Amino acid sequence: MSVAAPPTATAAAIDALAALLGPRLSRSPSDLALHGASETHFAPAPPDAVAYPHSTDEVARIMAICARHHVPVTGWGTGTSLEGHALAIHGGVTVDFSRMDRVLEVAAEDMLAVVQPGVTREALNTELRATGLFFPVDPGANASLGGMAATRASGTTAVRYGTMRDNVLALEVVLADGRVIRTGSRAPKSSAGYDLTALMVGSEGTLGLITELTLRLRGQPEAVSAAICAFPAMGPAVEAVIATIQSGIPMARIEFVDAATAAAFNAASGAGMADCPHLMVEFHGSPASVAEQSERFGEIVADLGGADFRWATRPEDRTALWKMRHNAFYSCKALYPDRPPIVTDVCVPISRLAQAVDETVAEIAASGIPGPIVGHVGDGNFHAMLMPRPDCAEDLATARRLASAMSERALRLGGTVTGEHGIGIGKRAYMAAEHGAGWDVMGALKVALDPAGLLNPGKLVAGD
């Protein structure tokens, strides 16, 4: 649907953008390189220029200029996405939202916040600390909220509080022709027409550029308690998750880490974890309710042979525990620092979780390639981090085969090829298998809103 713009068009667009933005239109080699790289194994793909807008109006002007010259535009938050979403594979202009980083409003009585897209989730929660409210979605990385909306991020707390799908009330979006629209409202719900907010959330910058978000906030729980517990094997750990979810305990977090990840935690943080699979959990509620939840969970764990509970009730201990979990990616990477990882996630119905994890672990073990597994298992969502030797074609082929097998298995089991990382470049090959004619419908929607194919070309939908 789209190809790179001819060099003369790109040069003309860059001239116009430089006139608009001055030094906030960068062509420095370091800036281009930074915005041409991703966290994972994808080949670098730098843009022709990086724009740093300050306002929605500037984003609309940038978009209008690029549309006039038929130059691709790719949004950039913090660059922490895992499927190459923000790589400028057709060149053009990357719009870096890091300078649109203001919390515009906290409406405590309506339990919502209005933010610019460059605000990170940690920055928002810091700002909210005194209000008794928090923003729950927690993908691990300190991602920008615009990027989290664009990729429909979720993470450790989605089992209780939902994903970005559930926590974005309204958006302001710059369309491919430079028009600005507002989706949703500040009301908690609406039946007024097509759900454009939901359409934009997860559209990965292919339908518009998010310039403002209205986010649902939650009350900070009165009481919080977290724990790690160990299991003799993966099977019982996963069974404990399934039993917990099915019994209706309103877990705030329930995370699986395999023995390899526990070893990485020990190496990185001196965690002192046993060489076996673990669950990491958190309970939110009133003191009485947290006590009740913990007790019921403890019974399920004991029934399945879990043991060695280590409770973290002090805030600093909980922070340390979840920081360790959030750093799983970097801790595992540190075990093989020279290996660009292939990170993949899938999500299956909870009833098929044990089978999906078992088969994945067996295949990875048989391959000889390191592949720690962690998961937001309360959602049926788990990740593998495959680490083939660098420049080893055989390893790379094996790792790709393992990742493919995970996706294909997820589809066979009634699930999805990605629970939270998104499509980007990495998962586009599975879209036809997952959605059938639905993928054509996505393509038709893309053409309707971006007929020239300028917004993040080469991602999510079919086309070049």
Q: Is 147 helix (H, G, I), strand (E, B) or coil?
A: helix
Contacts of 423 (CB under 8 A, 6+ apart): 83, 85, 204, 431, 459, 460
b/e burial code for range 125-153 (CB count within 10 A of at least 16 → b):
bebbeeeebbbbbbbbbebbbbbbbbbbb
Residues 291-320 binding its own copies (CB under 8 A) are: 292
Please pick, from the candidates 194, 270, 338, 393, the single residue that binds its own copies as defined by CB under 8 A: 194
CB of 14 to its own copies, least distance (A): 28
Count of beta carbons in the 10 Å neighbourhood of residue 256 = 26
CA distances from 429 to 10, 268, 407, 426 (A): 29, 35, 10, 8
**Interface pattern 106-125 for its own copies (x via CB under 8 A):** -x-xxxx-------------
CB of 253 to its own copies, least distance (A): 15
Q: Which two tokens stand for residue 312?
A: 């973290």
Q: Which two tokens stand for residue 379?
A: 């959602």
Count of beta carbons in the 10 Å neighbourhood of residue 260 = 21
By DSSP bridging, strand 103-107 and strand 112-115 are antiparallel
At 100, which helix (H) or strand (E)? none
Please pick, from the candidates 56, 183, 327, 398, the single residue that binds its own copies as defined by CB under 8 A: 183
Contacts of 196 (CB under 8 A, 6+ apart): 171, 173, 181, 183, 184
Please pick, from the candidates 16, 25, 347, 354, the single residue that binds its own copies as defined by CB under 8 A: 347
CB of 83 to its own copies, least distance (A): 9
Residues 254-293 binding its own copies (CB under 8 A) are: 286, 288-289, 292
Q: Which stretch binds its own copies (CB under 8 A): 41-49, 51-59, 239-247, 397-405?
A: 239-247
Please pick, from the candidates 431, 456, 457, 458, the single residue that binds its own copies as defined by CB under 8 A: 431
* DSSP assignment letter at 154: -
The answer to whether residues 62 and 53 touch, using CB atoms and an 8 Å cutoff, is: yes
Nearer to its own copies, 101 or 195 (CB): 195
Q: How many Å apart are CA 378 and CA 33, to the nearest integer?
A: 38
Q: Does 251 bind its own copies (CB under 8 A)?
A: no
- Tell me the CB-side half-sphere exposure of residue 49, using CA atoms within 13 A: 27
Q: Does 129 bind its own copies (CB under 8 A)?
A: no
Residue with tokens 């281009």: 32
Q: Does 414 bind its own copies (CB under 8 A)?
A: yes
Q: Does 405 bind its own copies (CB under 8 A)?
A: no
Nearer to its own copies, 100 or 200 (CB): 200
Q: Does 393 bind its own copies (CB under 8 A)?
A: no
CB of 350 to its own copies, least distance (A): 6
Q: Does 175 bind its own copies (CB under 8 A)?
A: yes
Nearer to its own copies, 7 or 250 (CB): 250
Nearer to its own copies, 370 or 378 (CB): 378
CB of 315 to its own copies, least distance (A): 19
Binding residues for its own copies, how many (CB under 8 A)? 83
**Interface pattern 360-379 for its own copies (x via CB under 8 A):** -------------------x
Residues 441-460 binding its own copies (CB under 8 A) are: 441-442, 444-445, 447-449, 460
Q: Is 239 helix (H, G, I), strand (E, B) or coil?
A: helix
Q: Which two tokens stand for residue 350?
A: 């909870």
Q: Which stretch binds its own copies (CB under 8 A): 91-99, 313-321, 344-352, 398-406?
A: 344-352
Q: How many Å apart are CA 417 and CA 428, to the nearest integer?
A: 10
Q: Does 62 bind its own copies (CB under 8 A)?
A: no
Residue type, 195: D
**Interface pattern 11-50 for its own copies (x via CB under 8 A):** ----------------------------------------
Q: How many Å apart are CA 94 and CA 117, to the nearest integer?
A: 15
Q: How many Å apart are CA 406 and CA 429, to the nearest integer?
A: 13
Q: Which stretch binds its own copies (CB under 8 A): 10-18, 45-53, 103-111, 392-400?
A: 103-111
Q: Does 64 bind its own copies (CB under 8 A)?
A: no
CB of 82 to its own copies, least distance (A): 10
CA 405 to chain centre: 21
Q: Is 416 helix (H, G, I), strand (E, B) or coil?
A: strand
Please pick, from the candidates 195, 266, 311, 326, the single residue that binds its own copies as defined by CB under 8 A: 195
CA distances from 430 to 83, 261, 352, 376 (A): 13, 27, 20, 22
Please pick, from the candidates 261, 427, 454, 458, the single residue that binds its own copies as defined by CB under 8 A: 427
